[in-house]
Structure 1
């Protein structure tokens, strides 16, 4: 026992009192909110036979929906990473009129209802829309195509990248860039060897968040997608369609596939990021 500020505490005690009850409460809430619902998905899907599960979860229509949901999310997350890095750089490194307004607008997709975002994007990119009409004259269609799905995914994923990269960029010491320049490094070398390695953790985190949000996005996508089976139908919509047809086990089978695939992809992203960090530290 030792005395600290007039109070005796056990050696090795944690800095916070009541750690045991707090941990128990945390695990309880996680179980109620996350674990139990996820387990329920697999239990519901297990009501089908193995052949029926495979037939529903890996039908041609379901496979096309998976390709669009996961492939579109990967493309959208990559585009969001590039655009988000540029936006964060401009907001941090430059002063210009309306900067605060532009910074506030980055968070607009967080506050905007997804249905409103979907309707707005559809109105802009439809063949008779403000953006869609000029593009239609040269044979480019965005709304009601997979390109529209990716556009909606970029819209809702972009803020995640900006908000994860921006604080890292603000904390980046410019003296390091000046030192590299004084040693003869050009702008390209400073970017690739000084700035990007420092921003990589935030950028990879933003990529993972944008990807996770895009995979499960529903409201803003269904309006602009066109929802044509095998062409522009996303997996979440296929789940809703199955539920509307009272095929609860089939919807659970598709949801289980999405859950497993999302978990594996996020593990890969986090594993690559951890490997990169170890390589930098070594």
Structure 2
């Protein structure tokens, strides 16, 4: 194709910018991940399987992934509600509430963990009242879910909020004027427009929760087979100089998280293709 017929770009330099992008992604993502996989591949299959299938490790898998899925699911519902309130309504202190949504981004995870323990311990501000009803949060699996829900909320809110801002309220009014019920308006008008953003926020919240460490170690109690998460187990093995074991467990977490994110993104692509 000649230069005359080649379509001119408004902003030139695609090759240069693509090169820098790939270089950056290589140093930040591909080289560390490749190094982890390469280090793991040096282990024999027996050693790898022994490291990743130990009952203590399996128990940590179950807790990490189940608590992450529960936390992301909670944020999927309530994050959408928070985004809806912030976009559709005006009320005193709205900017303060909007700023508080980003607090988990700014607050160090260790500080967040200490704050959660202060709130939900049996003698804490909230925990002392929950204890009356026999509900214990700190040092239980419920505490892990609370911590992962806390750190994942902004991902859903900030993903859904811009889509809601671009979604005209007139569409809802038109649906109501045509006789549609509120449930039908939500199901047929609002939800299809929000579904890709909801799935993206869900995937981001889940991915963040799977790798969370700082805010969980304080409130979980770190009891083996009960409240010990996989990232903590990886750190413990690294501190014991068991680098092959830490790499093997990290590889399993990496593959599992990648497959789940691939599934969620595939579902998002399918909904966009079908126009749901």
**Shorter-normalised TM range:** over 0.9
Q: TM-score, normalised by structure 1?
A: 0.94
2:102 corresponding residue in structure 1: 107
1:189 corresponding residue in structure 2: 184
- 2: distance between equivalents of 1:102 and 1:78? 22
CA RMSD between the two structures: 1.6
Secondary structure, aligned partner of 2:219: helix
Q: TM-score, normalised by structure 2?
A: 0.96
2:21 equivalent to 1:19: no
Deviation at 1:20, TM superposition (A): 1.8
Gap regions ≥5 residues in structure 1: 3-7
Deviation at 1:191, TM superposition (A): 1.2
- 1: distance between equivalents of 2:130 and 2:6? 71
2:237 corresponding residue in structure 1: 242
- 1: distance between equivalents of 2:34 and 2:239? 22
- 2: distance between equivalents of 1:271 and 1:167? 22
CA deviations 1:11-49 (Å, max 9, x no partner) are 234443232222222211211111111011112122321
167-176 vs 231-240, which moves further = 167-176
The question of whether the paired residues in 1 share the 8 Å contact of 2:196 and 2:271 is answered with no
Match of 1:43 among 38, 42, 51: 38
Secondary structure, aligned partner of 1:140: coil
CA deviations 1:219-241 (Å, max 9, x no partner) are 11110111111111111000000
1:119 corresponding residue in structure 2: 114
Q: How does 1:184-223 map to 2 (within 5 A)?
A: 184-223=179-218
1:157 corresponding residue in structure 2: 152
- 2: distance between equivalents of 1:169 and 1:71? 29
- 2: distance between equivalents of 1:19 and 1:243? 42
1:276 corresponding residue in structure 2: 271
Deviation at 1:199, TM superposition (A): 1.0
- 2: distance between equivalents of 1:40 and 1:264? 19
- 2: distance between equivalents of 1:194 and 1:20? 41
1:5 corresponding residue in structure 2: none
- 2: distance between equivalents of 1:17 and 1:9? 16
Match of 2:83 among 66, 88, 91: 88
Gap regions ≥5 residues in structure 2: none
CA deviations 1:29-80 (Å, max 9, x no partner) are 2111111110111121223211110010121111111111111111100001
2:222 equivalent to 1:227: yes
Match of 1:68 among 59, 63, 66: 63
CA deviations 1:225-279 (Å, max 9, x no partner) are 1111111111100000000110001000000000000000000001111111112
Match of 1:132 among 98, 105, 127: 127
Count of residues in Structure 1 that have an aligned counterpart in Structure 2: 276
Deviation at 1:145, TM superposition (A): 0.7
2:259 corresponding residue in structure 1: 264
Deviation at 1:9, TM superposition (A): 6.3
- 1: distance between equivalents of 2:17 and 2:190? 40
